[in-house]
């Protein structure tokens, strides 16, 4: 299994500039979203750890709902959203580009 | 699961691991649960007829991304988080949401960094991927040991929780529960393999989500479907209770308002971040979750699985938050549910059960009890299957038989392992009945985050990683997490009875995860063996296959 690339179709894909470009794009996109997710979550936990009074403040004068509740729900929603954004692009644009590369390599 | 985590941070709070009182026998609950068992056994019988080879056993012959997402939610949402989070919010308010976010936020990390590569390279276990270009023996041995450690601690927590839940919900003795859980789990896995396990988890997820959703609708109907009204009434009730306890009006108002903000759960920032990272990265290293990626045909469906899993798990945690506040509003003042001392009747985790009774009477209580028990079964079956495949596929077929195992024998080994694990789970449940097992779920997450996760990421993304780095570096992360947990307050002080913890923080992840990565990097970098040259030379092809799924055609057709 640990052999280098010998198969002809595999070699054609590896040498295809569109493949190199696809991997670079997808990698950049996934690391960007990873950074966004980790930063948002770390920020949320840090607010809880360092500034509890801010988190306990109501969202508006006279309201009971606090900033902490709003941010917590935002983290839950944002997590689902960020997954949706990635799957949309990966299963759409990236998979279409990959299919074209693979079709040419097998032809 | 979360109840365990809650105890970790707030030992004073009663959780599933705390004292419970046996309840009167609840026949509605038992009948509804019997219905669930009948349905799942029927599915298992059907699955058994179609489980002919190892591939059927490990992957269940393929399901869609949507189905797999539901099954992942069924695998991940435990009864302890359903009961534990709601009860924690019932007692202290907001803090329960901190767990909820931590348990969800690992999923996008799995999606972005490992899901598609895992699916493209692997067939049955995550070790297929971790060991892809390496010498099989050392890396598979590490993966199997790590899988067994994670599964064992997770399993003990589930079994002890199951026994105590049964006393609470059904009014049956502790040992009955263990034998029922161990026996049913063995039947599902033994005869139905992954196909039966997937369907048990899917049915459970649908029951849990619909039950919790119905309960939330019932709660919201009482407050005019206004969250502001729900929160305002909860604060008013907590304020009233504090006044009744003898606090001055100003202090009581402050105490009431405190449920809307973060409270005592997070004491020091290091523990907070460390705990958060253990939850987030541990999710990406749980063997029974990673194994679910091989039940779908390709990377495309694997991505969809995670999106759906995130939707359902996020929905579930949002529901638990509302249910916790609903419990404050609807049951706090009712002496049928809460004693004069302010403690929940029947045990500290009963908030959502009482709430079900308050909203929908005995029938609904029975349904929710059956759901809670079904939940434990589904989680336990998933854990057992992943441990059985680690033993049969990684240790027996790949290490002992060096990849030349007879498939029929491999299947037999996994079935024997399942029986051994079932018996061991019951025995461990008995042994740990009176022990404080609260730390075990967070330990399982910390181990997965510090061992499996760094090994997977480094082997998939770093060309310089070698056999030595992956196997021994992963072991360093695993051992660091284990030792630091033993030295931390939850074990060193609470379980072992020492006066002062050697390691002061509640979770080791912030140290043990970097330790794992650093060890893999250092041991690979300094590796000058001939094998290391082969390992590095194998990277371009592994990378190509992981990005394109060119080899997955063979895997999908297995």
pTM recorded for the entire structure: 0.91
Nearest by CB to residue B307, choosing from A31, A44, A83, is A83
Place of tokens 């039966």: B196
At A30 the pLDDT is 95
Query: How far is Cα B3 from Cα B372, in angstroms, rounded to an integer?
Result: 14
| Closest residue of chain A to B317, computed from CA coordinates | A76
- Give 10-residue mean pLDDT values along chain B (558 residues): 37 42 75 87 87 83 91 88 87 88 92 93 89 92 95 89 78 86 90 89 93 96 95 95 90 92 78 87 93 92 96 96 95 87 78 91 86 86 92 89 86 92 91 79 92 95 95 97 91 86 90 97 95 94 91 46
Taking only the tens place, the pLDDT of each residue in A30-41 is 999 999 999 999
Q: Where are the alpha helices (DSSP H) in B170-225?
A: 174-187, 193-222
At B434 the pLDDT is 79
Taking only the tens place, the pLDDT of each residue in A67-78 is 999 999 999 999
B344 with B164: CB under 8 angstroms?
A: no
Chain A contact for B360, CB < 8 A? Answer: no
* Token representation of residue B101: 């976010």
* 3-class secondary-structure state, position B344: strand
ipTM: 0.93
Q: Do B260 and A64 touch (CB under 8 A)?
A: yes
Indicate which of A87, A94, A99, A105 best probes the interface with B, i.e. most B CBs within 10 Å of its own CB.
Answer: A87
B385 with B167: CB under 8 angstroms?
A: no
Query: How far is Cα B487 from Cα B200, in angstroms, rounded to an integer?
Result: 38
Q: Do B541 and A91 touch (CB under 8 A)?
A: no
The per-residue pLDDT of chain A, averaged, comes to 91
Query: How far is Cα B121 from Cα B137, in angstroms, rounded to an integer?
Result: 18
Chain B positions in Cβ-Cβ contact with residue A37 (cut-off 8 Å): 105, 108-109, 112
* Token representation of residue B179: 């034998």
The answer for B 277-336 residues in CB contact with A (under 8 A) is: 280, 300, 303-304, 306-307, 310-311, 314, 317-318, 321
Tell how far CA B426 is from the center of its chain.
19
The answer for B 453-512 residues in CB contact with A (under 8 A) is: none
Chain A positions in Cβ-Cβ contact with residue B111 (cut-off 8 Å): 83, 86-87
Q: Which residues contact B76 (CB under 8 A, 6 or more apart)?
A: B103, B283, B289, B309, B313, B379
More confident residue, A7 or A81: A81
Q: Do A3 and B228 touch (CB under 8 A)?
A: no
Q: Which of A77, A89, A75 is nearest to A39 (CA)?
A: A75
At A4 the pLDDT is 62
Place of tokens 């479907």: B225
CA-only gyration radius of chain A, Å: 22
User: Could you write out the three-class secondary structure of chain A?
Assistant: CCCCCCCHHHHHHHHCHHHHHHHHHHHHHHHHHHHHHHHHHHHHHHHHHHCHHHHHCECCCCCCCEHHHHHHHHHHHHHHHHHHHHHHHHHHHHHHHHHHHHHHHHC
Query: How far is Cα B514 from Cα B156, in angstroms, rounded to an integer?
Result: 27
């Amino acid at each position: 299994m640990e052999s280098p690339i010998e198969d002809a179709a595999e070699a054609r894909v590896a040498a295809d500039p569109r493949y190199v470009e696809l991997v670079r794009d997808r990698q950049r996109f996934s690391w960007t979203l990873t950074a966004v997710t980790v930063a948002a979550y770390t920020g949320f936990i840090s607010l809880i750890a360092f500034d509890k009074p801010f988190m306990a403040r109501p969202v508006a004068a006279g309201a009971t709902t606090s900033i902490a509740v709003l941010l917590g729900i935002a983290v839950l929603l944002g997590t689902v959203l960020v997954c949706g954004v990635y799957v949309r692009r990966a299963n759409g644009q990236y998979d279409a580009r990959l299919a074209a590369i693979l079709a040419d390599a097998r032809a | 699961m979360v109840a365990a985590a809650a105890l970790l941070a707030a030992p004073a709070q009663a959780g599933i691991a705390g004292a419970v009182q046996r309840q009167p026998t609840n026949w509605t609950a038992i009948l509804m649960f019997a219905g669930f068992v009948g349905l799942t056994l029927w599915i298992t019988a059907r699955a058994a007829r179609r489980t002919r080879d190892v591939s059927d056993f490990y992957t269940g012959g393929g399901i869609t991304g949507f189905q797999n997402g539901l099954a992942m939610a069924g695998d991940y949402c435990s009864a302890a988080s359903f009961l534990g989070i709601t009860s924690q919010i019932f007692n202290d308010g907001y803090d329960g949401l901190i767990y909820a976010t931590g348990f969800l936020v690992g999923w996008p990390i799995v999606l972005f960094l490992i899901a598609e590569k895992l699916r493209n390279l692997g067939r049955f276990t995550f070790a297929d991927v971790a060991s892809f270009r390496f010498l099989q023996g050392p890396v598979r041995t590490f993966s199997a040991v790590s899988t067994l450690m994670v599964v064992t601690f997770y399993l003990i927590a589930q079994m002890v929780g199951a026994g105590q839940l049964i006393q609470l919900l059904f009014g049956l003795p502790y040992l009955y529960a263990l034998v029922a859980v161990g026996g049913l789990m063995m039947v599902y896995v033994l005869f139905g393999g992954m196909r039966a396990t997937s369907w048990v988890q899917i049915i459970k997820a649908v029951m849990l989500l619909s039950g919790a959703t119905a309960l939330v609708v019932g709660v919201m109907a009482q407050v005019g479907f206004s969250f502001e009204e729900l929160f305002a009434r909860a604060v008013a009730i907590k304020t009233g209770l504090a006044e009744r306890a003898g606090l001055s009006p100003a202090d009581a108002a402050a105490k009431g308002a405190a449920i809307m903000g973060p409270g005592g759960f997070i004491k020091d920032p290091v523990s907070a971040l460390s705990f958060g990272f253990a939850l987030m990265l541990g999710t990406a290293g749980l063997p029974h979750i990673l194994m679910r990626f091989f039940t779908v045909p390709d990377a495309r469906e694997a991505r969809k699985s995670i999106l759906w899993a995130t939707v359902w798990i996020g929905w579930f945690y949002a529901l638990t938050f509302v249910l916790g506040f609903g419990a404050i509003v609807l049951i706090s003042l009712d002496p049928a549910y809460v004693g004069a001392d302010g403690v929940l009747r029947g045990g500290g985790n009963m908030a959502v059960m009482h709430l079900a009774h308050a909203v929908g009477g005995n029938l609904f209580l029975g349904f929710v009890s059956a759901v809670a028990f079904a939940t434990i079964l589904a989680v336990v079956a998933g854990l057992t299957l992943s441990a059985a495949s680690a033993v049969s596929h990684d240790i027996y077929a790949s290490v002992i038989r060096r990849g030349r195992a007879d498939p029929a024998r491999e299947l037999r080994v996994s079935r024997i392992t399942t029986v051994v694990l079932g018996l061991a789970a019951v025995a461990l449940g008995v042994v740990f009945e009176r022990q404080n097992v609260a730390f075990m779920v967070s330990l399982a997450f910390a181990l997965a985050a510090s061992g499996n996760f760094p090994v997977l990421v480094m082997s998939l993304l770093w060309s310089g990683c070698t056999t030595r780095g992956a196997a021994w570096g992963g072991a360093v992360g695993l051992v660091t997490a284990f030792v630091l947990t033993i030295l931390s307050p939850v074990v060193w002080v609470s379980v072992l009875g020492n006066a002062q913890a050697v390691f002061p923080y509640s979770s080791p992840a912030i140290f043990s995860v970097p330790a794992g990565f650093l060890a893999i990097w250092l041991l690979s970098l300094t590796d000058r063996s001939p094998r290391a040259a082969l390992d590095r030379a194998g990277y371009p092809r592994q990378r190509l296959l992981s990005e394109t799924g060119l080899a997955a055609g063979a895997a999908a057709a297995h």
